[in-house]
Amino acid sequence: MHLLAARTGRAGARQFLRDETREVDVAHVAREALRAAPCEPLRGKSVLLALPRQLDTAIALLRLAGVARRIVLWPSDVSPGHLGDVCDAADIDEVLTELPWQDGGNVGAAASDAAEEAAVAATEWVLLTSGTTGRPKLVAHTLATLAGHLRNDAAPSGGPVWCTFYDIRRYGGLQILLRALVGGGSLVLSGAHEAPAELLLRAGAAGATHFLGTPSHWRRVLMTGAAAAIAPEYVRLSGEIVDQAILDRLRDAYPTARLVHAFASTEAGLGFEVADGMSGFPAALLDQAGNGVALRIEEDRLRIRSSRVALGYLQSRLIPVADADGFVDTGDVVALHDGRYQFAGRRDGTVNVGGQKVHPEEVEAVMNLHPAVQVSRVHARSNPITGAVVVAEAVCRMAAMDTDQSDAAIGLLQAELRSFCRDRLPPHKIPAVIRIVPRLELGASGKLARQRA
């Protein structure tokens, strides 16, 4: 497997990984991985990586691929309350909250390349993605589904220096880490609370030329005036709907860069890339997506089949993510205009706030806990900064409002509800706007009428 090239230092030029605190040499980490006696206690185990730093996570991945039976990546923004469920579903033996070995650890015997390769291929990599109830779903991959399509086409002088706003503990970020490792390149990782502008300044100084983020990240970059800190050769957007305005703004900011947007999901894997500078994707792609990828549109939803599709959802056993024909329903609704498909939102009403998923039901459940709220409805509103924000309507119990319906009383209740949500939800799930309404319409089924994409 290609990861071995990085592991054994055959990749050629020096490769590094760095965050805001330090830089590590990939070949050095990899050599230690091959002789890693300190990893031995984790051999054959199911390991959950809950390391605060992305850089430590990358080191652990390099060392544990081929050692651990299963590696679960825990993004720092997932509520610790889900830890028990995740450990049960993934049959976790060990939770790592810090690296269990010192740099320059004991030297053990190196396995042969072939044995090593087979072991690396067998390790299961598990990513978390948010579920309707707020409980994370576990999506199982292998190195083959994650990186089987990646090639080392780097010049002898080495591959590019990548930089991403994404978290390598999620699908999009992990793709970039593997792309850098397999492709003989290096990667600049974001710090825990680092603003996009600071990351760009640091990455620019480190020689980064390949930059990846969501449209929201890039809008933020343009608004902070930090765009001039870098001179990218390659700019890529994914993780949210990419509109024409952000593509045009980036084209203006970086006239010579290759500007690409991509479609990927944790379950379906990387689907395709679009490089013509226009939003959506050409209808012709349905017939010739290439790269072993097949696309279908059924009931206005995009379906994808490829060798990058996940093994399945992990819940004591593997539950397929694909249908009988091998296609994954992405849940993304597309509409055809002038020979191009444009993304129109999510079938299930999931809101994408700056690349982070929010299920309206989950926010409604919290709002409805408040004693003054009789019922609430949460939906998406499009937003020029984060693509979308969550907004809520709430019907109040009579007792809470009947004596005083003044603007001041409503304002107080809105503030109270916001603070109630703030105590119970991560920031991107808190409604940006809460409206107090006299009633909410019910649909024919007696359920709240929802606007669906």
Using an 8 Å Cβ cutoff, are 184 and 12 in contact?
yes
For other proteins, the binding residue among 92, 386, 393, 425 (CB under 8 A) is 386
For other proteins, the binding residue among 37, 122, 223, 442 (CB under 8 A) is 223
Is residue 357 within the footprint of other proteins (CB under 8 A)? no
- Tokens 């996940």 -> residue: 310
- Tokens 């809008």 -> residue: 219
For other proteins, the binding residue among 42, 237, 389, 396 (CB under 8 A) is 389
Q: Smallest distance, Å, CB 105 to other proteins?
A: 38
Helix (H) or strand (E) holding 398: helix 398-401
Is residue 156 within the footprint of other proteins (CB under 8 A)? no
Nearer to other proteins, 46 or 356 (CB): 356
Within 89-118, the residues that bind other proteins by CB under 8 A are none
The order of strands in the sheet holding 136-142 is 94-96, 46-49, 70-73, 124-130, 136-142, 312-315, 317-319
Is residue 337 within the footprint of other proteins (CB under 8 A)? no
Helix (H) or strand (E) holding 315: strand 312-315
Within 198-217, the residues that bind other proteins by CB under 8 A are 216-217
Is residue 384 within the footprint of other proteins (CB under 8 A)? yes
Distance CA 430, CA 76 (A): 18
For other proteins, the binding residue among 30, 353, 363, 425 (CB under 8 A) is 353
For other proteins, the binding residue among 225, 339, 371, 443 (CB under 8 A) is 225
For other proteins, the binding residue among 37, 192, 245, 319 (CB under 8 A) is 245
Using an 8 Å Cβ cutoff, are 204 and 230 in contact?
yes
Distance CA 207, CA 188 (A): 9
Q: Which of 60, 359, 81 is nearest to 72 (CA)?
A: 60
Q: Where are the alpha helices (DSSP H) in 15-167?
A: 26-34, 54-64, 83-89, 113-122, 143-147
Instruction: Single out the segment in contact with other proteins by CB under 8 A; choices: 48-56, 300-308, 362-370, 385-393.
Output: 385-393
- Tokens 């320059």 -> residue: 104
For other proteins, the binding residue among 87, 144, 154, 195 (CB under 8 A) is 195
Distance CA 271, CA 130 (A): 20
Is residue 412 within the footprint of other proteins (CB under 8 A)? no
Nearer to other proteins, 412 or 442 (CB): 412
Nearer to other proteins, 102 or 451 (CB): 451
In which region does residue 9 sit, left (phi positive, over 0), alpha (psi from -120 to 50) or beta (all else)?
left
Q: Which of 400, 411, 402 is nearest to 375 (CA)?
A: 400
* # binding residues, other proteins (CB under 8 A): 33
Instruction: Single out the segment in contact with other proteins by CB under 8 A; choices: 68-76, 128-136, 245-253, 280-288.
Output: 245-253
Is residue 251 within the footprint of other proteins (CB under 8 A)? no
CA 234 distance to own-chain centroid: 20
Rg (CA), the chain: 23
Is residue 54 within the footprint of other proteins (CB under 8 A)? no
Within 363-382, the residues that bind other proteins by CB under 8 A are 381-382
Nearer to other proteins, 259 or 293 (CB): 259
Q: What are the backbone dihedrals phi and psi of residue 328, each rounded to the nearest 5 degrees, phi first?
A: -100, 130
Q: Which of 230, 235, 204, 202 is nearest to 19 (CA)?
A: 202
Is residue 242 within the footprint of other proteins (CB under 8 A)? no
Is residue 319 within the footprint of other proteins (CB under 8 A)? no
Nearer to other proteins, 222 or 294 (CB): 222
Give the footprint of other proteins on this chain (CB under 8 A): 195-197, 216-217, 219-220, 222-226, 244-245, 248-249, 353-354, 381-386, 389, 391, 418-419, 422, 427-428, 432-433
